Chains A and B, each alone.
Chain A
Amino acid sequence: MEYTAAQSGFRQQHNMRLRNSSMDGSDGSQLFDDTSATGPGAQGVYRNQQAGPQAAGGLPGQSLLSDPMSNLAMAYGSSLASQGREMVDKNLDRFIPVSKLKYYFAVDTVYVGKKLGILVFPYMHENWEVSYQQDIPVAPRFDVNAPDLYIPTMGFITYILVAGLALGTQNRFSPELLGVQASSALVWLIMEVLAVLLSLYLVTVNTDLTTIDLLAFSGYKYVGYVLVHISVNIISSAVSLVNHQMVCFSRMILGVVAGLLFGKLAYYLSLLWCCAAIFVFMDRIKLLHVVQGRFDSEQLLKERQRERQVNDVVVVKSQATQDAKQEVLLFLHLRL
């Protein structure tokens, strides 16, 4: 009797903890694979611990726990908790397609490394096709060309942090500015995805690009932003250090000029490189994805001209937004 009470009490606790941390254990709709090997072990330890104090404090508190009303209340509470969790899961699945999101986060280190290499240097990559497995695209872990959401998310967050760093080196930092940067970057991202969706709708191309795919593609450019800003910040801070020494060695003018030129030059060069790289990357990715949406070989010619249209409209639009943003960033950050 005490042990079942302990079990149901523990399960209720466990349920509350699970619901709070939004991590499913035994329902089948897992948000991510539970690779912690200590899971069952911890449960066993908990159970023992729960049963232990119960047995020890069972005698004075026996009236509390063997009371059928409190048993009933605990059982009811645990069923209510599991019902609530089911409702949350169902509604969450309706608004955010959780199972589809899981596909985009199934990455590993090798994939991330290769993808970052392709993003920075897309010129040597020959085969851009996404391999399919029974009509669904293969998970990013197995195919370098598949889109993922891990790199864009991480790139976005790193971009905000590096922007904070850039502001800090210019003594213009305050914690609210991080939030401002984050929301404005998010708004630009949403507007770019909406612009791409609108242009895809207008050109009536049958493609299997989902909104999340477009989000992933639009998020890949944050990697370039991060590289540009890191390069300019590291170089500018290194150069300012060198400037100090040069001032001490009374080659002041040359040192300062070299520092300024080098800083700005590094910024422009890396900006140009990353713009070209992401342009080529987007071009080839979109070409492939639009073409791969059709399996009908008769209409391939018409598809070719339509994809040219799409390419022009879509890529120009995305490039326009990216260039606008680069200009804005230039005015905002570059006061070397």
Chain B
Amino acid sequence: MAFTLYTLIQTAILCTNAIAVLHEERFLSKIGWGVDQGVGGFGDDPGVKAQILNLIRSVRTVMRVPLIIVNSACIILLLLFG
């Protein structure tokens, strides 16, 4: 089970890509994980589900542009070096 640092980077990129491709209308709202269905009150007990939804939403918002850059770099590097 030889994990290298390179596989760690690959895993991170793959996981972030996976979170970023979750579509808002087609998928998340259908299973009740939409943006409007998570944020309840502003009490100090958000609960695990609200935290997960927040995490997904923030990853999708924040990481969209950097993911484009990183994916393009990965594609170019893989094309060049196999």
Contacts and interface: CB of A to CB of B under 8 A. Distances in A.
Q: Tell me the interface secondary structure of chain A in the complex.
A: helix
Nearest to B7: A187
A203 B48 contact: yes
Interface string A103-130: 0000000000000000000000000000
B74 interface: no
A180 B4 contact: yes
B8 interface: yes
B5 A187 contact: yes
Contact of A201 (B3, B4, B7, B55): B55
Interface residues of A, number: 15
B37 interface: no
B45 interface: yes
Contacts of B7: 187
- Give the interface residue-count category, chain B: 10 to 19
A141 to B, nearest CB: 33
Contacts of B3: 183-184, 187-188
A191 B8 contact: yes
B2 A204 contact: no
Contact of A202 (B1, B8, B45, B48): B48
B51 interface: yes
Nearest to A186: B5
Nearest to B51: A202
Contacts of B46: 204
A204 B1 contact: no
Shortest 9 CB-CB contacts between residues of A and residues of B: A187-B3, A184-B3, A328-B1, A202-B51, A187-B8, A183-B4, A180-B2, A202-B48, A184-B2
16 contacts: A183-B2, A183-B3, A183-B4, A184-B2, A184-B4, A186-B5, A187-B3, A187-B4, A187-B8, A191-B8, A201-B55, A202-B48, A202-B52, A204-B46, A204-B51, A302-B45
Interface of A: 180, 183-184, 186-188, 190-191, 201-204, 302, 328, 332
